Amino acid sequence: MSSLSAYVPHDMYYMYWERKEKFLLYEDIDENWTIYAVENGSFYYEIGEEQGTASLGDIVICPPRTPFRRVVVSPLSFHNIKVALRLPEQETRPESHEPPLFPGRKVSIADLERLRLNFDRLKVHKLRATPSGRRKISHYILDIWYLICDEWGDDNQTVAHEIPHAVHDPDMAWAAQELKRHAFEELQIKQLAAVLGLTPTQFTIRFKKVFSTTPHTYMTSLRMEKACTLLLETQMNLNQISECCGYQNGYYLNRVFTKEMGITPGKYRKMHQI
């Protein structure tokens, strides 16, 4: 099976929803790939066995002809993109077979600045009025697609590229990718170690040798980065943010945030408000 990054989107449909309070339907099925790129707020989703909560920086991808269940958690602003996929060489062979149905899932985009830049450009309504404007929309959607492919995790190349030593230990490169992919869920490091046939201690020692940090610290740093972004970019309260960052509740998030950042979430938000 080819990796998702081997395919390019075409026949694109785009719509922007601002502060949506409720989805019209709890479940929807589409003939195309459906992409929800969250700009503000959050929503709960189910795609087959995949389920979770998506917020700023998260993109949820649902394959064609697959039930997509979703419920708004907090007023949701998001970019709704529908595309068909094909291999580049299929440009002149429209009769070619469809790509395989990769499982639906959520990806969390690390390059939030680039993602927000694409969001801002897509919201320029006048682009939709002219052929050249529509071509620009396709360009921005394609760039979001590249961000998705970078984070999808078909292989370990993303982590290996960021940290060259990872290529010498593919198991740890895979583990780092899994930690990044599931950082905002209730991922148990001991479960990840068990998959690799290691004890938690062995896993931690080996991971730290490659990445110069422990699995727990690595995952916590990803959660703190997202918490900081949500504090600055949204009006979500601590309980809502904790749900989006993988913590049990706002009280626990407050404890971890204060310990890691040296300041409470409330003070952090006030200090950085313009």
pLDDT digits (tens, 9 = 90+) for 59-76: 999 999 999 998 888 889
* Domain range for 169: 157-213
Tell me: do 222 and 265 sit in the same domain: yes
Q: Is the domain of 114 the same as that of 139?
A: yes
> What is the C-alpha to C-alpha distance for residues 188 and 243, in angstroms, rounded to an integer?
16
Which CATH number fits the domain that encloses residue 54?
2.60.120.10
Per-residue pLDDT tens over the stretch 97-148: 556 667 888 998 888 889 999 999 888 865 666 777 778 888 899 999 999 9
Total count of domains within the chain: 3
Query: In this model, does residue 1 exceed pLDDT 50?
Result: no
66 and 118 assigned to the same domain: yes
Model pLDDT, residue 9: 86
The CATH number of whichever domain residue 253 belongs to comes to 1.10.10.60
- Segment 235-246 shows an average pLDDT of 85
pTM > 0.95: yes or no? no
Share of the chain above pLDDT 90, in %: 34
Is residue 165 scored above 50 in pLDDT? no
| Same domain membership, residue 130 and residue 238 | no
> Are 211 and 166 a contacting pair, CB within 8 Å?
yes
CA distance 245 to 263: 18
Q: Are residues 10 and 104 in the same domain?
A: yes
Query: 132 and 168 in one domain?
Result: no
| Mean pLDDT (whole number) for 175-196 | 84
Query: Average of pLDDT values for 139-162?
Result: 70
Q: pLDDT for 194-231, tens place per residue?
A: 999 999 999 999 999 888 899 999 999 989 988 888 88
Q: Are residues 222 and 187 in the same domain?
A: no
Measured CA to CA, the distance from residue 27 to residue 94 in angstroms comes to 30
Token output for 52: 């979770």
Residue 101: per-residue pLDDT: 65
Domain identity same for 205 and 96: no
Q: Is the torsion defined by CA of 213, 219, 224, 229 positive or negative?
A: positive
Q: What is the pLDDT of residue 163?
A: 46
